[in-house]
Amino acid sequence: MQAKAQSFFKAIFQLPAGARSLKRLTVPIALNDILAGILVSSVAIPVGLAYANLMGVPAIIGLYACIIPVLAYAIFGSSPFLIIGPDTAVSNIVGVSLTAFALTTPDARIQGAAAIAIGVGIVSIFAGKLRLGFIANFLSRPILTGYLAGIGIQLILSQLSIITKIYAPTGNFFERALFFIHHLSSIHWMTFGMALFFFIFIRACIFYKPSIPAPVITVIVSILLSWGFSLNQYGIMTLGKLPSGLPSFEIPSFNYPLTEFIETVVAVTLISFSSGIITARSFAATIGKQVDGNKELVSFGIANIISGLFQSFTVTGADSRTAVAINSGGKTALVGISSAITIALIITFLSQPLSFLPSAILSVILISTAINLIDFKTFRFLLKVSRQEAIFVIITILGVLWVGILQGIILAVFITLLHGLALSARPRDSLLGMFPNTKELVNLNLEPTAVPVPHCIIYLFEASIIFFNEGYFSSRCATVLEQHEDQSIKWFILDASVMTRGDASTLYALNQLYILLQTKNINLIIANGHYDFRNIVQKSDIMDKIAGKKIYQSVEIALAEISSLSQPPMEPIHHA
C-alpha cells in the first residue's frame, strides 16, 4: 500500500519533461541554449507576422503566438527539443474558419481564433488522457502529403492576390484561379516587382545557402527600404502602427454556431496534432529520442489553452524553428524560453520599426513556405514504389482545391480510411517452399531456386480473415487450387502467422475452404496464428475437421508430422 501511495504521489508531483530538462543546465549549456533561442526567434518573428496576416488578424497576434504558448510548452511539454508555434496548415484552416463564421473585424477574428485555440486545447487534453494519440494515423503520410500540397497551392493563389492586388471573389480554387488569370493586366507592378525580387532572394538562399536567415534579412531590408523611400506613397501597403507591450490575460467571448465550432475544433485538432507529431517524431529520430503521442496531445493542449487565454491562436510543432534549435546545439527547454523572451523584448521596445514592413513581404514569406508544403520528393518516391498511393495524393490535392480546406480534412480522412480498407480487403499472399536439401521455408515468388514441398500447398495469407476480405481469401484459395489441379496434392497448409484475430467471418471462410478441399480429397492443416485467431478457431467445431485436430505451432512442425496424419471426416462444419 505504501509503495502504491508513493508511486501515486510521484506521478502527481513529477515535473514535466520540459521542466526536468532544465535540471541538466550548466553554464556552457545555458549560454549555448540562450544563443540558440535567439536564433530561433529570428526565424519565428517573420513567420509569426506572416501567419497572422494569413489569418486576417493583426500582425502582433502572430508574435504573441511565439511567446506565451512557447513558454508554456517549454515548461509543460513532453519533448524539450521541440519548438512550437504557428503553422501554415493550421493557420490557414483557422483563417478559413473565421471567415466561415462571418467574423470580419480584427477584434472579432482575434476572439474567434482564441476561442478555437482553447477548444483545440481542451479536446487535445481529453484525447491524450483517453490515450487517443493514434488519431494522428487517421492521416497517412501519402494522404497528408496530398493534403498539405493542396493547402500549399491554395495558399500560393491567395497570397498572389495580395502581391498583385488582384482580389478574386469567393469561390473554389479553380474559379479564383480563372479570375486571377483573366485579370493579369491589372497587376500592381510596384508591389509585384518588390515581392518578386525578395522571393527570388529567399528561394536562392534556400537552394544555395540554407544557413542564411533569408526571411530575417528580407524583413530588415524591406523595412529599411520602406522607411527610406516611403514606399506607401507608391501604393505599397505596410503593416502600420503596431501596439507595443505583452499580451494580457483575457477570456474570449463565445457567440458562434455550436455545431460548426465543434467541427472546426475537431478538424484543427486533427491537423495540428498530425503535423506536430510528425515534426516531433522526425526530429526525435535524429537525436535518438522517442515521442509519446498521448503525452504530446496533453502538452499541445496545455499550450493551446494558454495561447487562447492570452489573445493568441492555435499552435503546434514548428519544423523550421525546431530545426534551428537542434542545429544550433540546443539541449534543453531553455531554447524555447530564450526565444520567447527575445520576441517579448522586441515587441516591447522595437515594435515601431515593424510598422514600416510592407504587407507583401509577409505574402512572399508565406508563398515560400507554401512551396515547401508541396513535397515533390515524396511524390516522386511514391510514383516509383507505389503508384496507387501516388494516385491518392493527386486525388487528395484535387479534393482540397475543389471542396476547400475544411471539407478537405474530411475528404483526406475518408481517403485514408478507404486506402487502408482497400489494402486490408486485398492483402498480399504467397506460396511457400524450400531450398533443395534444406528445411528453410521461403517465398517461392522471391526465391527462384526454391521448390514446392512435394504433395503440399503451403499458403500464406498476409492478413487476418475478417468480413471485408473473406471473399478475397476464398477466391485466392480457389485460384491456388486450380493452379495445382494437375498435381497430386494431399495437404493444404494454411500459414496463419500474420493472422492476429478472428471473428465469425474467419470461421465461415475456413469452413468454405474445408468444403472445397474435401471435394478434391485434400487435407486442411492450420499452422501458426496469434492468440485471438487461435482462440476463436479452437472454440469452433472446425477443430474436429482439420488434420491433426489442432493448430500447429509452426509450418515446420506440421510438415514433420504430416506422415502420421489421417484425413478427418468429410462432413462440413456448421458455422455458428
- 44 in any annotated domain: yes
Give the HSE-up count for residue 269: Cα atoms under 13 Å, Cβ half-sphere.
Answer: 29
The pTM for the full model equals 0.74
| Interatomic CA distance for residues 189 and 207, integer angstroms | 26
Which of the 8 DSSP states describes residue 79? -
- 399 in any annotated domain: yes
Last residue of a domain, one of 398, 420, 442: 420
Whether residue 519 sits in one domain with residue 443: yes
Whether residue 439 sits in one domain with residue 402: no
- 9 in any annotated domain: no
pLDDT of residue 574: 40
- 210 in any annotated domain: yes
pLDDT of residue 477: 92
| DSSP β-bridge partners for residue 493 | 458, 525
Closest by CA position to 558, among listed 526, 529, 533: 526
CB-based contact 275:89 (threshold 8 Å): yes
Where helices occur in 165-255 by DSSP H, the ranges are 173-182, 189-208, 214-229
Whether residue 64 sits in one domain with residue 194: yes
Last residue of a domain, one of 420, 453, 479: 420
| Interatomic CA distance for residues 109 and 98, integer angstroms | 6
Residue type present at position 97: S
DSSP element (H, E) containing 480: helix 470-483
Q: Specify the residue for cell string 534549435.
A: 325
**Cell numbers representing residue 242 in the block:** 503596431
- 573 in any annotated domain: no
Whether residue 394 sits in one domain with residue 516: no
> Cβ neighbours of residue 400 under 8 Å, at least 6 residues apart?
146, 147, 150, 151, 153, 154, 408, 411, 412
Chunked into runs of 10 residues, the chain (576 residues) has average pLDDT values of: 48 62 81 90 89 90 94 87 89 90 91 96 93 76 83 89 85 86 91 95 91 88 93 88 84 88 91 85 76 88 95 90 85 90 90 89 90 88 87 87 79 78 84 84 85 89 88 91 84 90 88 90 89 87 82 87 56 39
Whether residue 500 sits in one domain with residue 367: no
User: 458: domain CATH number?
Assistant: 3.30.750.24
Whether residue 466 sits in one domain with residue 372: no
Separation of CA 302 from chain center? 20
CB-based contact 226:356 (threshold 8 Å): yes
| Interatomic CA distance for residues 105 and 52, integer angstroms | 14
Residue type present at position 154: Q
- 440 in any annotated domain: yes
| Interatomic CA distance for residues 461 and 330, integer angstroms | 48
pLDDT of residue 454: 86
pLDDT of residue 107: 92
Closest by CA position to 518, among listed 454, 569, 565, 461: 569
Residue type present at position 301: G
pLDDT of residue 122: 96
Is 75 strand, coil or helix? helix
pLDDT of residue 3: 53
CB-based contact 275:90 (threshold 8 Å): yes
Whether residue 147 sits in one domain with residue 249: yes
| Interatomic CA distance for residues 411 and 409, integer angstroms | 5
Whether residue 400 sits in one domain with residue 434: no
Strands 491-495 and 523-527: parallel
- 64 in any annotated domain: yes
| Interatomic CA distance for residues 258 and 247, integer angstroms | 27
Residue type present at position 262: I
Whether residue 268 sits in one domain with residue 213: yes
Whether residue 441 sits in one domain with residue 370: no
Domain of residue 388: give its range: 16-420
Last residue of a domain, one of 394, 420, 446: 420
CA distances from 160 to 156, 164, 171, 372, 472 (A): 6, 6, 16, 16, 50
pLDDT of residue 563: 65
Whether residue 488 sits in one domain with residue 367: no
- 3 in any annotated domain: no
Closest by CA position to 529, among listed 463, 458, 452, 448: 463
Whether residue 403 sits in one domain with residue 507: no
Split into its structural domains, the chain has a count of 2
